[in-house]
Amino acid sequence: MQVKAKSRWRFDPDDLSVPAAIVIALGLLLTCGLLLVSGMAAKWAGLILSTLALFAYFIHDSRNYLQNPRFWILTGSLLALHLLAWIALLSHVERWGLLWFNIMVLELPVFWSLRGWPGLLD
């Protein structure tokens, strides 16, 4: 039987329980709901939900790299760049339809190519 060494810097998907996943999902839905109810523009709630979907898919697709700290540095950097660019764009646009967030799908090939860059995650 293999014993896993506990480290706070390593994410182990086996440690994520169903109740914890439900609490995380409900927290995100509650946050988006509060943004909409409080008068926040739908574009910000759309940014949150679309970013969540994009990065959840990217992380799910990268299951082989979850134990690699470099993967999390790459993912965090991509998230920061993604949010900086989208916040800069949305702060200058008065009206933004929710369907326009489908453009985010074009970021996935860039993420995949950076993840597959030789020597980056080896």
DSSP codes joined into one string, 42-68:
HHHHHHHHHHHHHHHHHHHHTGGGTT-
109: tokens are: 């090939």
Which pLDDT score is estimated for 3? 56
Q: What is the pTM of this model?
A: 0.70
Q: What is the pLDDT of residues 52-102, one digit of tens each?
A: 889 999 998 998 888 888 899 999 999 999 999 999 998 898 888 778 888
Q: Tell me 94's DSSP state.
A: S
Which pLDDT score is estimated for 11? 58
Q: Is the Cβ–Cβ distance between 114 and 78 less than 8 Å?
A: yes
What does the alpha-carbon distance between residue 57 and residue 18 come to, in Å, rounded to a whole number? 18
